[in-house]
Amino acid sequence: MNAPDFLAIGHATRDLGRGGWTLGGGVVFAMQAAYALGRRPAMVTSGDVRDLLGQIPGLMKVTPAATTTFENVYTPAGRQQTLHARAADLTLDDIPLAWRAAPVVLLVPLCHEIAPALVDAFPASCVVAGIQGWLRTWDHSGRITPRRLPAGVAFGGAAAVTASIEDLAGDEAAARELADRCRVVAITRGHAGVTLFQDGEPISLPGLPVVERMPTGAGDVFATAFAIRLAETNDPVEAASFANVAAAIWVAGEGMPRRAAIAARRAEAA
């Protein structure tokens, strides 16, 4: 395989649920989505997961370590998460030199395994940060709760950041405040669509009417499609519209979105 033209960085995970465990993590969804969108993907991750990743197309750099493990419990009040184990941090030294010039780089931290400063490490790339993992903390028992980004954390080296309003615990002030930290910010709202901030100015994109069958990974599919389309067009509104449809296709249980399916769905909506 040629050098990657899409690089995802973050922890692959074991996600525990009632039926046992499944492979998860933003990098896993990002690799699959990027491949479906015609990219040559690569991932950098950490954990005892190499054997689990064999069915995922693309290049992989895996640092052996304990595997990040989450338990997910769904209640009427929303999802409750517990962090049971955490893999090693990921730094620039973990990224092969030849991969650092990938045209598109997506950072998808889950539990602070990447330092926010890593957004500045790829000057030749379109860097997008899915910041969910920097918006959570956990107590001694591993119980996950939301947190605000620390003062001073900014994303000047990123082309954009993405987050869900759920990641922000529904805090609209926090969503607006993110726009002070990066020129382009996309806040996803599930069936309610997306709010895109450009230089602090909000633009609302409506959601698509779909029956939700596959909510897990929707934010990562959105971030991947958004990053790829932003690199292609340098148009945040077009990128957000493209990604909004891509995420809706995934949520509807129709599989990883391909360009033909996205184009057809956009034509229907128009």
Q: What is the pLDDT of residue 8?
A: 98
User: What pLDDT does 73 receive?
Assistant: 81
The least confident of 171-180, 193-202, 205-214, 227-236 is: 205-214
Domain parsing of the chain, residue ranges: 6-269
pLDDT in tens, 102-146: 999 999 999 999 999 999 999 999 999 999 999 999 999 999 999
What is the model's pLDDT at position 254? 93
72 pLDDT band, cuts 50/70/90, is: confident
Task: Please provide the average confidence, as pLDDT, over all residues in the chain.
Answer: 93
Helices (H), the chain: 26-36, 172-178, 218-233, 236-251, 259-269
Measured N-to-C along each axis, helices 236-251 and 218-233 cross at an angle, to the nearest 10 degrees, of 150
Name the residue among 53, 154, 146, 58 with its Cα closest to residue 99: 58
Assess whether pLDDT exceeds 50 at residue 89: yes
User: In degrees, to the nearest 5, what angle opens at C-alpha 31 toward C-alphas 162 and 70?
Assistant: 70
Looking up tokens 């929303």, which residue turns up? Answer: 78
Convert the pLDDT of each residue in 20-65 to its tens digit: 888 899 999 999 999 999 999 999 999 988 877 877 888 999 988 8
pLDDT exceeds 60 at position 229 = yes
Mean pLDDT of 221-247: 98
DSSP 180-238: TT-SEEEEE-GGG-EEEEETTEEEEEPPP----S--TTHHHHHHHHHHHHHHHH--HHH
pLDDT for the residue 199:
94
**Is the pLDDT reported for residue 76 higher than 50?**
yes
**Higher pLDDT, residue 57 or 201:** 201
Helix (H, G, I), strand (E, B) or coil at 246: helix
In this predicted structure, what is the pLDDT of residue 209?
84
Q: What is the pLDDT of residue 181?
A: 94
Q: The tokens of 217 are what?
A: 């990974």
Q: Output DSSP code: residue 94.
A: G
Return the higher-pLDDT residue of 52 and 185: 185
Note the pLDDT of residue 2.
67
Burial 204-221 (b: 16+ CB within 10 A, else e): ebebbebeeeeeebbbbb
* pLDDT level of residue 91 (50, 70, 90 thresholds): very high
Residue 1: predicted pLDDT: 47
- Choices 3.40.50.12780, 3.40.1190.20, 3.30.1490.110, 3.90.1150.10: CATH for 6-269: 3.40.1190.20
